Amino acid sequence: MGGAMGLGNWTPAAEFNIYVDPEAAEIVFQSGIPVVMAGLDVTHRAQIMADDIERFRAINNPVARTVAELLDFFMEYHKTEKWGFQGAPLHDPCTIAWLLKPEIFTTARRWVGVETQGKYTQGMTVVDYYMLSGNEPNTDIMLDIDRQAFVDLLAERLAFYQE
């Protein structure tokens, strides 16, 4: 999980995970290994709403209750004027959801680079969405998510825990 095609969450241009080590991220994106980018563009759509939290809480096992309590906090945090979300966006769980059910995501194959020296853009993931650079695509970028399928997957996995 890292990056974004647009706004950052740590600087105006950079998402936190890429910002803290842009050189390493650039090496990974240019390495030739298969890369899937779960950026803020999709993780901000993976919001958990109040009804979803109550659904998780109703599963009534220690793991589901703990997740619900954590989400109660994240819900309040993300409702602040700074963020303005209706729910709590879940970033890192999108990565695991991709591994379990990639079909719930919409993706596009594009070239991605990381700005490593920009005065205002250090850590920014530069996505050649319209393929203007002539660079060969090196990344599958998550663009959208079936939010309900994501919530259902989380509920299913939370219910899997047996005391």
Phi, psi angle pair for 109, to nearest 5°: -95, 120
Which one of the listed residues 91, 105, 125, 141 is annotated catalytic? 91
Give, for 92, the enclosing helix (H) or strand (E): helix 92-100
* Catalytic site includes residue 78: no
Exposed, middle or buried: residue 74 (CB in 10 Å: 0-12, 13-18, 19+)?
middle
**Alpha-carbon gap, residue 115 to 106, rounded angstroms:** 25
Burial 94-113, CB ≥16 within 10 A → b, else e: beebbeeeeebbebeebbbb
CA distance 20 to 35: 19
Distance CA 141, CA 158 (A): 27
Q: Which residues are catalytic?
A: 91
